[in-house]
Amino acid sequence: MYFDEPGQNNTEKTLKLSFERGKALGLNEVVLATSTGDTAYKALEIFSGFTIIAITYHGGFRKPFENVMKAEVRKDLESKGVIVHAATHALSGVERSIAQKYQGLYPALLIADTLKRLGQGTKVAVEVAIMAADGGLLSGNDIVSIGGSGRGADTAWILTPTNQNHFFDLKMKELVCKPRNF
């Protein structure tokens, strides 16, 4: 499925399409990006029978020592069975800091920029899968991985996740949906 435009207006359709495809493939894990928790709440309504892993920004992403997701939202999602994990961006982290201070290009930033050629949501879907794997939250089986272009979700992939230190073992098996224009 290709959406005409990116953005949060595609969230519900992205979740429904990816649930149906994941279910048809016999999958039971979904990883999704969420900053405020809104996408995770919507996933709770749709992803019956799946382990839902919500990846959010690391502490200090916007302001030093502050979390983007409110503590009460995180606790509520966790009480509903969602695994919430705050982690450093797998495809930038320290390299972003080095690039900002010293200029230049670095391998993880080049990989991130290359993935963005398929859309921001694709880069995010790959990144959150790695972050979930690095957090020890995945079984190692194929997953549904969902990202977005800003707020909400507009991109979903079926992929074989991997940890950062085995990045080139990651397999992007099926595109479920993404924006055509981005």
User: How many Cα atoms occupy the beta-carbon half-sphere of 172 within 13 Å?
Assistant: 18
Q: Is 170 helix (H, G, I), strand (E, B) or coil?
A: coil
- Report pLDDT for 67: 86
How high is the mean pLDDT of the chain? 93
- The pLDDT confidence band at residue 81, using thresholds 50, 70 and 90, is very high
Going along the chain from its start, the domains and CATH numbers come out as: 2-179 (3.40.1380.20)
Which of 127, 154, 120 is CA-nearest to residue 4? 154
- CB neighbour list of residue 24: distance below 8 Å, 6 or more residues apart: none
Non-local (6+) Cβ contacts of 41 within 8 A are 77
| pLDDT tens per residue, range 86-99 | 988 888 777 777 88
pLDDT number for residue 150: 84
